[in-house]
Amino acid sequence: MLKSRPDRYGAIAASIHWASALAIILMLTSGLMLDGAEDPEQVRSLLRFHVPLGISVAVLTLVRIVWWLAFDKQPHAPANMGQAQKWAARLVHLGLYGAIIIMVSSGIGMVVLTGAMPQIFSAGPLPEFSQAPPALVHGLMGRLLLVLAAGHILAALYHQLVRRDNLIGRMRIGG
């Protein structure tokens, strides 16, 4: 089942979701590590991981948006979900997409404006990224993404463990 049904997500949507989730967790973790890193070689090593991961998150997000707009329809909300929960879920999902797009754009902006790509993937002194105009937006979006992702995970766990409505099961890959 590649496409979604009214009661659950299809294999393609679920695969994109879980690949995105893993990439975002790794990206946020490496970003937080970058915030605390002072050794230039540690920063360079983290950036060599963080930059391609950010590009991967951007590609996954764009593929997900195109998939929903052109090829698939999202399943219906669970029958026991109230209108307020439906709106909250919608806002969180839109917030996640928006934060990801802004964060990736600001990350690309920092690399382009500082001319850092050669230094990240070869040698030479790294620029001071915090001085690049998009740095503030990048940091704010990273924190917003962390809050939204935590809320998303907590809501899914609430549905799975408290309400026991198998919401997470709707996002499984395979039969």
pTM of the entire predicted model = 0.89
pLDDT classification of 173: cutoffs 50, 70, 90: confident
* Cα gap 100→131, rounded to integer Å: 21
- Mean pLDDT, range 73-80, rounded to an integer: 86
pLDDT at position 123: 79
User: For domain 11-171, which CATH number applies: 3.30.70, 1.20.950, 2.60.450, 1.10.10?
Assistant: 1.20.950
No. of helices (H) and no. of strands (E), the chain = 5, 0
Q: What is the mean pLDDT of residues 74-96?
A: 90
